[in-house]
Amino acid sequence: MAAVAGACALANLVIGARHFLQVPRLSDFMLFYAAATVARQDGWSRLYDLQLQAATEVRLDPQGYFLPFYYPPPVAMLALPFTYLPLIAGYVAWVVLLLIVLAVTWWLAAPGVGTARLLQLALAVGLFPLAFGIREGQLVIVVGLGLVVAWRAERGGHPVWAGAALSLFGLKPQLAFLVPVALLVAGHYRMLAGLAIAGGLLAAASLLIIGAGGAGGWVAAIQAASRVGQEAYSLRGWLGTSPWVLGLEAAAAGAALVAAWRHSENLALILGAAVVGSLLATPYLHLQDLSLLLPVGWLAWAAQPSVALRRFATAGWLAVNLALLSGVAAVLVEAAWISWLAAGPSPRCRSRPGPR
């Protein structure tokens, strides 16, 4: 496994170095940069104005194609300081920041010591969706850091702050929409309160900044995003939107919540089950979003190491790396893992979790 991880890491570094300065004009960072530029120059109420977005992107890349900005307002807020730099310089600074976030996430969450931790770093660098996402300027690893900080804060006896850290999921809510429900069924009420307070403040600030007109554009953007064709990285992307597929999505979400209830004393497994269930049932998922499974795997391994979990982790890493060719294997591994959590042995399964 170490040899495979090292080879993949080297390949990703070579590809990344080769394409580093070619990416900005067609990257997701350019999309964030363009949206923040619209907000800075024309006002935050025009953030979701498609005509302004298109005109700004044409100025940045006359030979490119239009990518509408679907993301929540905080993404544009994060990108705003970088618009005071030229596009290339802003992109370089943004990617450096993401690499720092990855290093911190690895330091806080990767299991093992010494060589074992270095292997985990190689596995991270060798995970193609993660390398691709960072090269694109995607924020998935920032969401992963929120997951890890929440786990650390809860272990340190600060559940409210742990919940506040989970508000980083608001940057890409489709990746973890089951987390609040999982916290509720697992009885982590103080953490849920922290998430509600931080998330509510962030949502209120966003609505205050973009105003009623911007909010209407945001809703339209979300509706448009849900209609975008998806590749086979989720159940819907793989099987379509037939009623029976919706039933499978509901079953995946239900299994994730059962797993959260059964492992109510283990926050790592609660969050992991909620994230995996969300990835299976989400209507909107891309290749780089699968890299969120890396911190999920780290936390699960640190919380409950076992032979079965090692097998799931190995299969998951390989399946996510192969998702460039087909996401079906990743979907099957995710479904198998939450089914195992929901029905398999639990270190402490109680009839009803007490309030925490």
Tens-binned pLDDT, residue by residue, of the chain (356 aa): 556 556 666 666 666 666 665 555 567 898 899 999 999 998 998 898 888 888 898 888 777 777 788 889 999 999 999 999 998 889 889 999 999 999 999 999 988 788 888 888 888 888 888 988 998 899 999 999 999 999 999 999 999 999 999 999 999 988 999 999 999 999 999 999 999 999 999 999 999 998 877 888 777 777 766 666 566 788 887 887 788 888 999 999 999 999 999 999 899 999 999 999 999 998 878 889 999 999 999 998 887 767 777 778 888 888 888 887 888 888 898 999 999 889 876 654 443 344 45
Q: How would you class 288 by CB atoms within 10 Å of its CB: exposed for 0-12, middle for 13-18, buried for 19 or more?
A: buried
Half-sphere exposure of 256 (CA within 13 A, CB side): 29
pLDDT at 110: 87
Domains contained in the chain, number: 1
Instruction: Let me know if residue 331 belongs to a domain.
Output: yes
Instruction: Let me know if residue 322 belongs to a domain.
Output: yes
Q: In which domain, by residue range, is 96 found?
A: 2-343
- Token couple for 160: 């409210």
Q: How many beta carbons lie within 10 A of that of residue 29, not counting itself?
A: 25
pLDDT at 181: 96
CB 169 within 8 Å of CB 125: no
Q: How would you class 115 by CB atoms within 10 Å of its CB: exposed for 0-12, middle for 13-18, buried for 19 or more?
A: exposed
Instruction: Let me know if residue 66 belongs to a domain.
Output: yes
Instruction: Let me know if residue 355 belongs to a domain.
Output: no
Instruction: Let me know if residue 312 belongs to a domain.
Output: yes
pLDDT at 317: 81
Instruction: Let me know if residue 120 belongs to a domain.
Output: yes
pLDDT at 58: 86
Instruction: Let me know if residue 354 belongs to a domain.
Output: no
pLDDT at 10: 66
pLDDT at 345: 64
Instruction: Let me know if residue 188 belongs to a domain.
Output: yes
